[in-house]
A and B are shown apart, each in its own frame.
Chain A
Amino acid sequence: MQLIEGLNALSAGLILLTAFGMVATRQVQGVMRFFIVQSAFLAASALLIGVGRGSIHLLALGVITVLAKVIAIPWVLRRMLPSDLYERREINQAINIPTSLLLALLLAIAAEFFLSPAVATSTDPIVRVNLPIGLAGILIGAYTLIARREAIPQLIGILAMENGAFFAGIAVAPDLPLIAELAIAIDVILIAVVIGVLTRNITQTIGSSDVSLMSELREEPRPWR
């Protein structure tokens, strides 16, 4: 049990690290890789807690996470979108990367701070580790969603928020009905598909997936940057 708690804490640290990584990388492909790694650690954590608490739901959840987030979503996005979107470096971010990282750090501190009274009431080490880092994951994901201008990193921001919620959820509510989790997993894949299709159409129309170029509406065709 102690080993399971330890390994869960290890993956919690790495989940926080990959959340920072998503904020720090410029390359779209790098953001994607960090998301895959984060999902893999999330699945590892779900499997570990499932073994530790003897919960078949969590084991199934871990497997679903691997299938949906580590395999299906990257595959879907890669199939759907032209490959040059992934090689692109995002240069005109709303906020530059060092500042972004500092803001992400502040969000992580806020998550730890606001949850410290809630964490203090629990004696379960898994809850104590997962809850604040899960909230930090949600906030940093939301931040990625706001600060990025390319469509794919924005999508990954949404998915990272979901990862954070999931990570906090498996500690607090381990016996969530499987059907609910299945629905969420399928939802997430659908979100990926919808945003993928949308991004594809945007790219075909304006030749870029930079969302900031879409701030003004015009009828007549205009040469885009």
Chain B
Amino acid sequence: MIRTVVYNIIQLLFVIGLAPLYAGALSRLKEIIQSRRGPSVFQPYRDLWKLFHKDEVISSETTWIFRITPYLVFVTPLFVTILIPVLTAYPLAFGFMGDMLAGGFFLGLGGFFAALAAVDTGNPYGPMGASRTRMVGFLVEPVFMIVFFTVSFVAHSTIPYIVQQKWVASPAAFFSPSHVLLLIAFLMIILAEGGKIPVDNPSGHFELAMIDESKGLEYSGRGAALMKWGGEMKIMVLTCIFLNVLFAPWGLASDQQFLHVLLAIPLIFIKILFFTVLLVIIESSLAKLRLFRISEFLGAAFIISVAAMIASIFSVA
């Protein structure tokens, strides 16, 4: 029991500690591909360090929502982390506290408060970005639901650990038409939720075109650092769900030995780095969609996920 709690804490530290490195690796790789000289891989850590040492300015017009949001945005990915397999293939202490839907709701809570805080500021760009993220959010939601339900239909459980073991145990279920379609649909959701290029441009600095970034414009100092860190962790958590539960459920520590759990840290991170290559290829080869094309993109994700559901229902029956 104590051991699994310790492993859970290691898991949390893994996500907290390496999420900026993941973001840094992603932007660095993107710049290499676009033949630019980008900042180092460790730049996100420096940014966070700088922001934590700056003064924080909070408008006197804002309410408690604005003040509490950075903490919520920072904490909600951590709640999801204790529910999903990040380093170990067996359930840890809090593994049965909630299922995949709970994870989705936690991420949704953070996003909801971020949108509220953006409206709270009265900054003209904030509410615009907030309403756009809500638009993306409610188009993503049904796809999330259908992906999760299809997965749990195949695995007979909504607990991510059990789903992960199901894919490892039966390759027949892993290689099925519905699984391929699920992966594509989930990848499209990650692109939309993470603010990646076909939906949103993460490196753009033009407020009118921003979707995800403009929510954090009013934050400074510690608040900005927490928002940034929370955003990086959210993408990391989604990536972990995609890789460890759906796409490549291998490389996790399968027994209780401390050494194996430590060994899983570099293995999982290497897996994540391979995934960054895929993300960078997508981001460098596609153009950003116009705002009203986003619904078409996510509609396609929805169609693919429903096709996956149908394929899995009829292949079982």
Binding site for B on A (CB under 8 A): 2-3, 5-7, 9-10, 12-14, 16-17, 20, 24, 97-98, 101-102, 104-105, 108-109, 112-113, 116, 119-120, 125, 128-129, 132-133
Contacts and interface: CB of A to CB of B under 8 A. Distances in A.
Interface stretch (B116-124, B174-182, B250-258): B174-182
B177 A12 contact: yes
Interface in B295-311: 295-296, 299-300, 303-304, 306-307, 310-311
Interface in B222-278: none
B172 interface: yes
B296 A6 contact: no
B315 interface: yes
Given A20-B300, A116-B314, A116-B317, A13 B306 contact: no
B171 interface: yes
B184 interface: yes
Interface of B: 171-172, 174-181, 184, 295-296, 299-300, 303-304, 306-307, 310-311, 314-315, 317
Q: Which 3 A-B pairs have the closest CB atoms?
A: A6-B175, A13-B180, A13-B177
A109 B295 CA distance: 22
Contacts of A13: 176-181, 311
B102 to A, nearest CB: 29
Contacts, number: 74
Contacts of A119: 314
Nearest to A112: B314
Contacts of A133: 177, 311
A6 B314 contact: no
B172 A5 contact: yes
B307 A129 contact: no
A9 B176 contact: yes
Given A2-B172, A129-B176, 6 more contacts: A3-B171, A13-B177, A13-B311, A20-B303, A105-B306, A129-B177
Given A13-B179, A13-B181, A113 B314 contact: yes
Contacts of A116: 314, 317
Contacts of A17: 180-181, 184, 304
B184 A98 contact: no
B147 to A, nearest CB: 14
Contacts of A12: 177
A16 to B, nearest CB: 6
B171 A112 contact: no
A9 to B, nearest CB: 5
A112 B179 CA distance: 16
A106 B310 CA distance: 10
A137 to B, nearest CB: 12
B303 A5 contact: no
Given A17-B184, A98-B296, A9 B307 contact: no
Contacts of A24: 296, 300
Contact of B299 (A98, A109, A125, A128): A98
A125 B176 CA distance: 10
A149 B177 CA distance: 31
Contacts of A98: 295-296, 299
Given A113-B314, A129-B315, A132-B314, A6 B299 contact: no
A105 B172 contact: no
A16 B171 contact: no
A115 B179 CA distance: 20
A131 to B, nearest CB: 11
Contacts of B295: 98
Given A5-B175, A13-B181, A17-B180, A112 B300 contact: no
Report which residue of B176, B177, B299 has the largest number of chain A beta carbons within 10 angstroms of its beta carbon: B177
A112 B311 contact: yes
Contacts of A9: 175-177, 180
B180 A125 contact: no
A102 B314 contact: no
15 contacts: A3-B171, A6-B172, A6-B174, A6-B175, A9-B175, A10-B177, A13-B176, A14-B180, A16-B307, A98-B299, A102-B303, A108-B307, A113-B314, A119-B314, A129-B315
A97 B177 contact: no
A111 to B, nearest CB: 9
A20 B307 contact: yes
Contacts of A2: 171-172
Contacts of B172: 2, 5-6, 125
Contacts of B171: 2-3, 6
B314 A105 contact: no
A120 B316 CA distance: 10
B180 to A, nearest CB: 3
Report which residue of B178, B304, B317 has the largest number of chain A beta carbons within 10 angstroms of its beta carbon: B304
